[in-house]
Amino acid sequence: MIVAGDVAWVLTSTALVLLMTIPALALFYGGLVRATNLLSVLMHCVAIAALASILWLAGAYSLAFDAGNAFIGGLSKVFLLSVARDAVWEGTKIPETAFFMFQMTFAIITPALIVGAYVERIRFAAVLVFSGLWLVLVYAPVAHWVWGGGWLAGMGTLDFAGGIVVHVTAGASALVIAAMLGPRRGFPKHVQPPHAPWMTMVGATMLWVGWFGFNAGSALAANHDAAMALLVTHVSAATASLVWMALEWTKFGKPSLVGFVTGTIAGLATITPASGFVGPVAALIIGVAAGVICFYAVPLVKDRLGVDDSLDVLAVHGVGGATGTILLAFLVSLPGGVGYAEGMNLGSQFVAQAVGVVSVAVFSAVFTWIIVRLTKALVGLRVDEQTEKEGLDYAEHGEVGYNIQ
């Protein structure tokens, strides 16, 4: 049976999550790069959105959500040929086409998140090849493991809206491709600052709004779970923003706009896996943890590891998603939470969450290494030194972001 209210909420959430990539993520990342690389970042995001949409229809959706085995789905839903117009998605009161579109937006934003690791130095052809292969070989299998009835779902691993499926996969993969691609010119001491912090703030706050569809929409119904997911998402984002600001203010003497909204994204990423399972008190705890842990993860990746993950995909999304996934085991029983499933307790839930994080991180890293090697062999990976110096906008796309006379 189709329930109109549920359908309306999922359709609205689908639009909100697509907004998160185009234009929100594009603007967030675009403001953080040099002015001569703005258009390249925008192009990366919008092209990935189009490419992922077609690949999702052509077979990635089927690999993720068709009945198959514990590791990968089948192929009966390729091009939705076997899906009737009035088919209802199992366990919901929405059409499967609505579920297909909602999940498509997740498949779009996840490879787009990785853009932040390789900005200002990668060939556009490499972006397309890498993103397409990554969606099929990394994202679709992991989505099946967690949300499609795969082996992690079988052991009780919880991930309400993508802490593992979206953020751990993107974060681990970002580290690998950034390391293989090599750092930007001048890294780490002489990298130019963000050219438009205002643009980054606009993109971040659009992400904040869009994240309500990301998390609350994952209830797949207009119900109490959606309402609580929306509430805790906002609380975590607000808390992490203030914590990041306080840490930056203490360390550097001034609170920056870019730092504040980076804390916002950390809070959003960290609450994502727990959003449908925990209550407001847990959201405050997760927000504090997000602000502190992700803040200190940024210099750990760039200074201690020496990897130019340019826009902090691992430190914010990967570390945040993993933190929220692990904390979920401890916080699900607090007031407002759903409690442990039958047969589960703190210990068994912690094991299930930890296995999910570690296995997905390792799988994502290994397959990203393979995909990067293949991409380099097919189309090359990095632009030449002169192009990198001048910026990718005109060299790669024949346009410029600012035409100032």
pLDDT in tens, 162-185: 999 999 999 999 999 999 999 999
Kindly tell me if the per-residue pLDDT of 126 is higher than 80.
yes
Question: What pLDDT, on a 0 to 100 scale, did the predictor assign at position 28?
Answer: 98
Question: What pLDDT, on a 0 to 100 scale, did the predictor assign at position 404?
Answer: 72
Q: How confident is the model at residue 317 (pLDDT cuts 50, 70, 90)?
A: very high
How does the average pLDDT of the chain come out, rounded?
Answer: 97
Q: How confident is the model at residue 403 (pLDDT cuts 50, 70, 90)?
A: confident
Q: How confident is the model at residue 52 (pLDDT cuts 50, 70, 90)?
A: very high
CB-facing half-sphere around the CA of 59: CA atoms within 13 A: 7
Mean pLDDT of 240-268: 98
Contact criterion met (CB below 8 Å) for 164 and 146: yes
Architecture per CATH, 4-397 = Orthogonal Bundle (1.10)
Percent share of the chain, pLDDT over 90? 98
Mean pLDDT of 57-62: 98
Q: How confident is the model at residue 288 (pLDDT cuts 50, 70, 90)?
A: very high
Q: How many residues does the chain have?
A: 405
Percent share of the chain, pLDDT over 70? 100
Whole-Å CA distances, 327 to 271, 291, 321, 338, 384: 9, 14, 10, 14, 44
Kindly tell me if the per-residue pLDDT of 405 is higher than 60.
no
Contact criterion met (CB below 8 Å) for 287 and 252: no
Q: How confident is the model at residue 51 (pLDDT cuts 50, 70, 90)?
A: very high
Name the residue ranges covered by the structural domains of the chain. 4-397
